[in-house]
């Protein structure tokens, strides 16, 4: 219950902030990115948290969504709103392709396989220049502001779309967690062989989780590039910028919890911006070093995620007679 109060508060703050920020400014962009990455972390959370399968290849779905909607826009003038669904659909196909052979893999093997898939997509995008523009990247075409074509005058609509996306993905997460699928996923996590024997179709459950997670991630890829307006294979399919980052956000916040990704994103994204601003004028790489040190510190201090802070605090409060 406590966690939902915190979630509600954070959402309320996020909803109110755009009213106080410069509509084309830097901070509203940070807010939008925070919300988008929180949503991505939540999508990852479905596989990484509920199914307990640590994926380091979610960039594959993200990039597929990004490239699909952008290429459809450039080549056919298709609105990104529709391209979003096309990207999600393709990403879910990719999720099936990736999940089928890797599902039986345990622990680290699964993680390594997903990492390889993400990198495969990145290399393909780099090499297939005729389709993707190659390493040079693609720009989302400049358009006159038109909500139907996902083009806006200011960043404010992007922020609210990101907020809605976060709420939607969280709703999916909770629906899975609380429903029959959640029980089945927890059973698989507990003892996969026993789960099968009592009637859980482990393959179908794991595949479903992967497809849902992949589809959501693909849709979020579209949302991201409509904000960023430019991307290349190393960004869209990037291991560190996307795959690691969305996983970290869920983990630092609290993997497997609905509140975790929001807390994680609220911590990590501003931290990155802060490190970049403050320290990139110093030596190259200094900001990343600071960032890495903070991450390492948080993992050592709270291996189960920052969300446990709230539990620890409240249990201290209860001890007072």
Q: Which tokens belong to 152?
A: 């806006």
Rule CB under 8 A: which of 249-268 touch other proteins? Answer: 251, 255
CB of 36 to other proteins, least distance (A): 21
Size of residue set near other proteins by CB under 8 A: 62
Q: Is there binding between residue 195 and other proteins (CB under 8 A)?
A: yes
Other CB atoms within 10 Å distance of the CB of residue 240: 12
> Which is it for the CA torsion 45, 164, 242, 19, positive or negative?
negative
CB of 111 to other proteins, least distance (A): 7
Binding residue for other proteins, selected from 11, 299, 308, 310, defined by CB under 8 A: 299
SS3 79: coil
Binding residue for other proteins, selected from 10, 15, 93, 116, defined by CB under 8 A: 116
Q: Which stretch binds other proteins (CB under 8 A): 67-75, 114-122, 139-147, 258-266?
A: 114-122
Query: Would you mind telling me the total number of residues written for the chain in this entry?
Result: 321
Q: Which is nearer to other proteins, 141 or 285 (CB)?
A: 285
Cα gap 13→25, rounded to integer Å: 18
Cα gap 227→70, rounded to integer Å: 12
Cα gap 244→111, rounded to integer Å: 11
Rule CB under 8 A: which of 22-61 touch other proteins? Answer: 48, 54, 56
Contact (Cβ atoms closer than 8 angstroms) between residue 83 and residue 138: no
- Burial level of 7, CB count in 10 A (0-12/13-18/19+)? middle
Q: Is there binding between residue 198 and other proteins (CB under 8 A)?
A: yes
Could you give the string, one character per residue 150-179, with x where binding to other proteins holds by CB under 8 A and - elsewhere?
Answer: -----------------------------x
Cα gap 299→309, rounded to integer Å: 13
Pairing mode, strands 230-231 and 138-139: antiparallel
Binding residue for other proteins, selected from 21, 89, 126, 228, defined by CB under 8 A: 126
Residue ranges in contact with other proteins by CB under 8 A: 48, 54, 56, 101-102, 104-105, 107-109, 111-113, 115-117, 119-120, 123-124, 126-127, 179-180, 183-184, 186-187, 189-191, 193-202, 240, 244, 247-248, 251, 255, 283-286, 288-289, 291-293, 295-296, 299-300, 303-304
């Amino acid at each position: 219950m406590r966690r939902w109060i915190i979630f509600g508060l954070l959402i309320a703050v996020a909803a109110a902030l755009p009213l106080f920020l410069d509509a084309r400014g830097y901070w509203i962009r940070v807010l939008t990115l925070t919300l988008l990455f929180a949503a991505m972390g939540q999508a990852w959370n479905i596989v990484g948290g509920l199914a307990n399968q640590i994926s380091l290849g979610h960039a594959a779905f993200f990039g597929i969504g990004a490239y699909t909607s952008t290429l459809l826009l450039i080549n056919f003038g298709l609105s990104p709103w529709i391209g979003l669904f096309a990207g999600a659909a393709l990403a879910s196909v990719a999720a099936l392709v990736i999940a089928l052979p890797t599902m039986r893999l345990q622990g680290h093997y699964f993680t390594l396989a997903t990492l390889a898939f993400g990198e495969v997509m990145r290399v393909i995008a780099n090499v297939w220049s005729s389709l993707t523009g190659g390493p040079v990247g693609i720009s989302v075409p400049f358009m006159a502001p038109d909500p139907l074509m996902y083009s806006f005058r200011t960043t404010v609509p992007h922020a609210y779309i990101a907020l809605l996306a976060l709420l939607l993905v969280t709703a999916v997460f909770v629906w899975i967690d609380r429903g029959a699928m959640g029980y089945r996923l927890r059973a698989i996590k507990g003892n996969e062989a026993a789960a099968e024997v009592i009637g859980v179709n482990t393959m179908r459950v794991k595949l479903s989780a992967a497809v849902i997670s992949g589809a959501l991630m693909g849709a979020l890829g579209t949302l991201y590039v409509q904000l960023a307006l430019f991307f290349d294979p190393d960004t869209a399919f990037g291991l560190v910028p996307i795959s690691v980052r969305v996983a970290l956000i869920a983990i630092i916040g609290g993997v497997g919890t609905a509140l975790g990704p929001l807390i994680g994103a609220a911590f990590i994204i501003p931290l990155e911006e802060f490190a970049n601003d403050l320290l990139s004028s110093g030596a190259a790489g200094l900001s990343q070093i600071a960032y890495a040190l903070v991450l390492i510190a948080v993992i050592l201090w709270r291996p189960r995620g920052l969300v446990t802070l709230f539990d620890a605090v409240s249990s201290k409060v209860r001890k007072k007679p």
